[in-house]
Structure 1
Amino acid sequence: MHPRAKSALLWGIVGGLTFLVLALGVVGFETVELSIARVLAVGFVVTGATAAVTYRYERRLRRWASEHGR
Structure 2
Amino acid sequence: MDRSTLDTLAWGAVGALAFLVLAQGYRLFAEDGVGFLPLLGVAVVVFAASSLVAHLAATRLR
State the TM-score, normalized to the length of structure 1.
Answer: 0.77
Percent of aligned pairs with the same amino acid: 37
Q: Which runs of 5+ in 2 are unaligned?
A: none
Highest RCO, 1 vs 2 (Cα 8 Å, sep ≥ 6): 2
Q: Which runs of 5+ in 1 are unaligned?
A: 64-70
Once superposed, what is the RMSD of the aligned Cα atoms?
Answer: 1.5
Greater Rg, structure 1 or structure 2? 1
Moved over 2 A (4+): none
2:55 corresponds to 1:55: yes
State the TM-score, normalized to the length of structure 2.
Answer: 0.85
2:29 corresponds to 1:29: yes
**In the alignment, what sits opposite 1:9?**
9
